[in-house]
Amino acid sequence: MISYIIRRFMRIIIIVFCITVFSFILTVVIPGSAALALIGPEGASEEYIQYMEHKLGVDQPIYIRYYNWASGIITGELGISSRTRQPVALMLWQRLPITLELIIISIVISVIASFFSALMSGRYFGSWFDNLILFFTTIGISIPRFWVGMMLVLVFSIKFNIFPSGGYISINNGIGKNLSSMILPAIALSPIIYASLTRQLRSSVIEQLKEDYVRTARSKGAEESAVLYKHVLRNALIPSISILGLTTGRLVGGSVIIEKVFSLPGVGNLIMDGFLFRDTAVVQIGLLIVGTSVCFMNFAADLLYAFVDPRIRYE
């Protein structure tokens, strides 16, 4: 087990290195000038543009720029935002709690809804409820996240005025007000996990219900709820863990759009503003955060296998 963890961790280091190279090169080949985006196209002389490019360090050779950027990440120096002139690390630290709160609430909503939907769908396989769940999961996989967010705002904010249409209310102002500002963004983000996890978990539940141990438990007089939640769900979770790890990593990428739709001042909104204003330092770190999040979520999912099923051993 220890050797497996070490090997997997070494692979993650290699993958993260490749992500840093990709993130850096992508911001270099994007058309436009970071200096021009900062000072504006009107009234900008060629000499002043060159001065700003030198000040931002974008006139240096690409390998020197990558070395300075990568070494800064190791030491915790993530660069300075060309738009706000603030340290990127400070900007991320201020916005990270909002994004984490959004992701955690979305995961809780998705997992609870997925467990209930998959268990009931598998138990009543072929019924109208099962077909309804399949319909919703198909829609959840294919529908754009920003459209879901806009429809939620239209119905629950504009039509019925139940939740605010956007903005963030700190938890210091009350848990109720805080959740009211986060519930719609979390619901809009949750189909990323709900659809994939429900379909995988439903298939596993159907297979597990055919196993001999289920018939044995029922013949001994075990209640159906105990059979489903104590036996079937535990075994059905094993193949679904990888799906949960993959989709949880995708939540970080999905939060970029959702935070922009609901005007949440999180990391995703910061990344979107970085692309909009050609803020190279912010975009590079944003892409790095999204990529490494997916890697470590998959790594955590692999480790969970051994805890869910002790029969699994890694050689």
Q: What is the pLDDT of residues 61-80, one digit of tens each?
A: 777 777 877 877 777 777 77
pLDDT in tens, 128-137: 888 888 888 8
* pLDDT for residue 72: 75
Is 312:305 a contact under the CB 8 Å cutoff?
yes
- Of the two residues 146 and 301, the one the predictor is more confident about is 146
Three-class secondary structure of residue 24 per DSSP = helix
Handedness of CA 266, 271, 276, 279 (dihedral sign): positive
* pLDDT for residue 59: 67
* pLDDT for residue 30: 67
Share of the chain above pLDDT 70, in %: 84
Which domains occur in the chain, in start order? 2-75 (no CATH), 97-308 (1.10.3720.10)
User: Which stretch of 59-63, 134-138, 252-256 has the lowest confidence by average pLDDT?
Assistant: 59-63
Handedness of CA 80, 86, 90, 92 (dihedral sign): negative
What pTM value is reported for the model?
0.78
**What is the rounded average pLDDT of the residues 279-305?**
77
Residue 263 pLDDT more than 60? Answer: yes
Residue 310 is which amino acid? P
Residue 313 pLDDT more than 60? Answer: no
- Alpha helices per DSSP H over 154-232: 175-189, 191-208, 212-219, 224-226
* pLDDT for residue 57: 67
**What is the rounded average pLDDT of the residues 41-49?**
64
* pLDDT for residue 42: 61
Q: Using CA atoms, how far apart are residues 194 and 196, in angstroms rounded to an integer? A: 6
pLDDT-derived band at 153, boundaries 50, 70, 90: confident
pLDDT-derived band at 244, boundaries 50, 70, 90: confident
Q: Using CA atoms, how far apart are residues 293 and 249, in angstroms rounded to an integer? A: 6
**What is the rounded average pLDDT of the residues 184-203?**
85
221-227 own/partner pairs: CB under 8 Å, 24+ apart = 224/123
* pLDDT for residue 53: 67
pLDDT in tens, 108-129: 888 888 888 888 887 788 788 8
User: Which stretch of 41-55, 59-73, 263-277 has the lowest confidence by average pLDDT?
Assistant: 41-55
* pLDDT for residue 158: 85
**What is the rounded average pLDDT of the residues 136-156?**
84
